[in-house]
Structure 1
């Protein structure tokens, strides 16, 4: 009498016949002639070989390997919009894995990369300059308010200690404002640090 293993390994598939993992099938206790109770969406086959970047799919007779980019971010060439890949398969020709730098770039099929026109480059530089100037203006405004406040503290100090402390603050904020003006004119390259209160 032939002895059968109580379980056998089987390949588990999803609804699209992609390999999910291995599980076991139990020997049918009622028949006992080597018939196994194969769970749903499972097949008797050798486990597919692992191939990085691919997923195995059962064709009905053998394993085929499909590119698997699920979970990866890609960028639509026409708009730069980021999308996450959710299905196995080759990447469409309309996307790239190269991150979209910013709205000033466009995709060049010829160069196979994101590029910037001279006009867009000038626009980007203008935007950078505008943002830099806006930041400087805000900091200048803050420093002018601080200088005025310290001057008031000096003018209406009740004690010599109060006056001395306010004078230190006034000097620090005036130096800071002067440094900001130098930075604005390009005389120094680094944005000065805000005085500590």
Structure 2
């Protein structure tokens, strides 16, 4: 019965504010379809709140805040891109496939130097950076707090970077990006 009451509470608030939320999102989203998708996300988040939603002092404010956050999250996911000119596309197509940006050339150096790290550093870098595990998932799997896992990953990355700088003679440009390196031959 409590679930039914929570569901009704969310529906009442939704019916009262859905049109205003959609108008709010349409004004700010790239198109109507994106606004409707965001509106559905807001509805799902309200439904997930269940009985907690019914205890909100101001459900309208909560719904609009969730809508704002959903828009921000969606905007962060958008990767701006520019179309390549025909001339540049032809130049890139004609370039030898072996030409890679300097940071991509570090893969052999990383492979060679990763085993030299302490086991704890190697484990978190392999899990989070190479295998794509989230830091949160790593923390849970290794009985760490999220803050501890983030700190451990940051320190491990610093130690790997120092090792790569020393062993691969990495140099950085003015923006901090890898510009070049001279890998030492493997022993």
TM-score (norm 1): 0.20
Q: Which has the larger helix fraction? A: 2
Rg larger in 1 or in 2?
1
TM-score, structure 2 normalization:
0.21
